[in-house]
Amino acid sequence: MTDYTKIDNEVATLDDMRGLVVAYETIASSAMRRIRNFVLENRAFHEGLNRLFQEVVYAYRKEMARLARKRNIQSQKSLSLLRRNGKTVRVLLSANTGLYGEIITKLFARFAAETKEYPGDIVIVGKIGRMLWERAMPGAPFTPLEIRNGETRTASTQYAERNAAPVSGESKSLTGFTPLEIWAVLKRWTRGTPQSSYAPQKLSHSASLTGFTYFDFSDSTVVHKDLQKITQYVSAYERIVVFHGAFRSLLKQDVAASDVSGGGRISTDAGESKVSYLFEPSLEDVAVMFETEIFFSLFEQLFHESRLAKLSSRMVLLDRATANIDRTVKRLSFEHRKLEHRLFNKKQLDAMSGIALWNMAYES
C-alpha cells in the first residue's frame, strides 16, 4: 500500500508540474508570436542602418583628418564632435530569471572568452549574467548602477538584498511555488537534454578586469527609461560591442556580438568606401543625429533580438521538460501495473494455498 501511495502521489505531482510547464510554454509562445514579426521585419532595416552609421562615422573622421591636415593640427580632438573616452566596452545581455535553456550559458561562454583575451570595460545586464560572472571571478566588484523600477540603487542596498535571510511567509504563486523553486524543480526534468558544455571557470585576474558595471533589466518588456540609462552610460566609449542572442528559427538560436558604435569596417577591397554622400544640413549635424537617436534605436533592436532568442530557447527547453515528464509518468504507470500484477499473483497464491489446506484437512 505504501508503494501504491508513493507512486500515486508522484504521478499527481508530475501532472501538476506538467500543467505548470505547459502554462509557461504557452506564455512564452504567446510572447514570441507578438514580437517575432516585429523583430524580424526590423532586423534588415537596422542592419542597413548600422552599415550607414559606420559610413557616416567613417566620412566624419575622414573629414576631420582633412581639416586637421589643412590647419596643421596634430590632434583631431579639438575638431571632433564625437566625444568618446577612447576605450572599448563589452556589454552582455543576459537574463533576470532562469528557464532560458542553453542560450544564456553559450552567450556567457563567448563573452567570458573574449573579455579574457581582450581586456576592457565590462557591462552586464541581468542577474543570471552577474551570477555567472561572480562565479567565474569570485570577489569581483561591480559599479552600483543597478536599475529597478526606474531607480538607480546603491551598492549598500544591493549588498543587503543579496545577503538578506529569506522572509518567513514569503508570497508564493498560485501553484504554491516561488519562481526560484519552480526553476529548481524544472531543472530536474531537463536533465539529459542537450545543453551547453560550458562550465564557468575562474578567470585569471591578470587576464581581464575584475570589476564590472551591472544593470538590472526586465525580461518581459523593453523599458525605454531604463534602456536610456544604459545607453547614456555606454555612449561615452569609443567602441561598444554587445553580446546577445540571435533568433534564427524555433530550434536554433545563435550567439552574436554586434558593434553598435559605428566603428566597424566599411572599406572595400580598394581600401576606401566607394559610396559618396551629400550631407544636409551638415556632416556634423548628421553625425550628432546618428550618435544619439540612431544609436539608441540600434541598441534597442539588440534588446528585442535578445528577448526573442531567449523566448525561443525557453520553448525548446520546456518542450524537452514536457517530454521528460511524460516519460517519467509512463515509467511510473508501468511500475503501478507491476505492483497490481504482483498483488494479484499474491492473492492467487494465497487462494491456492487455502484450497490445498482445506483439501488436506478434508482427506485427513
For every one of its 364 residues, what pLDDT tens digit does the chain have, with 9 covering 90 and above?
A: 457 788 888 888 888 888 888 888 888 888 888 888 888 888 888 888 888 777 777 777 777 777 777 776 555 544 445 567 788 999 999 998 888 888 999 999 999 999 888 888 999 999 999 999 888 876 666 554 544 444 444 443 443 444 443 333 333 333 344 444 444 544 555 444 444 333 444 443 333 345 789 998 888 888 888 888 898 899 888 889 999 999 988 888 899 998 887 665 444 343 455 566 677 777 777 777 777 778 888 888 999 999 999 999 998 888 888 888 888 888 888 887 888 777 777 777 777 776 766 766 666 6
Grid cell 572599448 in the structure block, residue:
88
Buried b (16+ CB within 10 A) or exposed e, 148-162: beeeebeeeebeeee
Name 318's Cβ contacts closer than 8 Å, sequence gap at least 6.
21, 22, 24, 25, 28, 99, 186
Per-residue pLDDT, 145: 53
Residue 85, SS3 per DSSP: coil
Cα 35 off chain centre by = 16
Tell me whether strands 121-125 and 151-153 are parallel, antiparallel or unpaired: unpaired
Per-residue pLDDT, 362: 66
Please state, in angstroms and as integers, the Cα–Cα distance from residue 227 to each residue in 39, 195, 215, 216, following that order: 17, 30, 10, 10
Rounded CA-CA distance 91/198 in Å is 20
Question: Are the C-beta atoms of 126 and 93 separated by less than 8 Å?
Answer: yes
Per-residue pLDDT, 125: 93
Per-residue pLDDT, 352: 74
Contacts 24+ apart (CB under 8 A), 64-72: none
Cα 159 off chain centre by = 23
Count Cβ atoms below 10 Å from residue 131 Cβ, excluding itself: 15
Residue 124's DSSP bridge partners are: 92, 214
DSSP secondary structure letters along 169-233: T----TTS--HHHHHHHHHHTTTTS--------PPPTTTS-S-EEEE---SS---HHHHHHHHHH
Tell me whether strands 212-215 and 142-143 are parallel, antiparallel or unpaired: parallel
Give the chain's length.
364
Per-residue pLDDT, 30: 87
Per-residue pLDDT, 273: 54
Retrieve residue 361's grid coordinates.
Answer: 484437512
Domains contained in the chain, CATH given = 2-163+177-266+277-356 (3.40.1380.10)
Rounded CA-CA distance 163/297 in Å is 37
